[in-house]
């Protein structure tokens, strides 16, 4: 899905690190694709992708008032809490598609789950 993201901050240390706000969700993302200069305070069209480096860790959760995104320490990693809907994980009003979710975790379809991700990639799209 395409979202309008406001850039809250750019990192001085890691060139690809960017803090975004999409609707009411604030995320620390890895900007792997950024074909033009971006500025703090600017709003840009983006696509998001959950990145898992090794094995997928997805487990059923209660869904009781959990924050949709829980940052794991000082890394790019997050615990993402949401509802599994086929190939999509819906969390905090954002939708992430991944075929592995349906293939390996289809038995959790329609349920609240928690997924561990190594980072959230953001692609800045041309306007």
Question: What pLDDT score was predicted for residue 55?
Answer: 96
pLDDT(70) > 90: yes
Question: What pLDDT score was predicted for residue 66?
Answer: 75
Question: What pLDDT score was predicted for residue 78?
Answer: 97
Q: For a pLDDT cut of 90, what percent of the chain falls above it? A: 90
Mean pLDDT along residues 108-116: 95
- Which residues have CB under 8 Å from 38's CB, separation 6+? 7, 10, 18, 31, 44, 124
Domain segments of the chain as ranges: 2-124
pLDDT(65) > 70: no
127 burial class (0-12, 13-18, 19+ CB within 10 angstroms)? exposed
Read off the pLDDT of residues 23-64 as tens digits, 9 standing for 90 and up. 999 999 999 889 999 999 999 999 999 999 999 999 999 866
Question: What pLDDT score was predicted for residue 82?
Answer: 95
Q: What is the mean pLDDT of the chain?
A: 94
In angstroms, what is the C-alpha Rg of the chain? 15
The band of 67, judged by pLDDT with boundaries at 50, 70 and 90, is confident
**Taking phi first (over 0 means left), then psi (-120 to 50 degrees means alpha), and beta for anything else, what does residue 39 get?**
beta
Structure pTM?
0.92
């Amino acid at each position: 899905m395409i979202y309008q993201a406001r850039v809250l901050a750019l990192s001085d240390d890691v060139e690809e690190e960017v803090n975004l706000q999409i609707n009411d969700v604030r995320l620390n993302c890895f900007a792997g694709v950024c074909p033009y200069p971006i500025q703090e305070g600017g709003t840009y069209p983006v696509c998001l992708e959950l990145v898992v480096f090794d094995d997928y860790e997805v487990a059923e959760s209660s869904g009781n008032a959990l924050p949709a995104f829980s940052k794991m320490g000082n890394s790019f990693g997050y615990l993402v809490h949401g509802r599994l809907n086929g190939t999509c994980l819906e969390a905090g009003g954002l939708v992430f598609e991944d075929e592995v979710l349906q293939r390996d975790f289809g038995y959790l379809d329609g349920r609240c789950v928690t997924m561990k991700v190594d980072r959230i990639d953001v692609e800045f799209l041309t306007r």
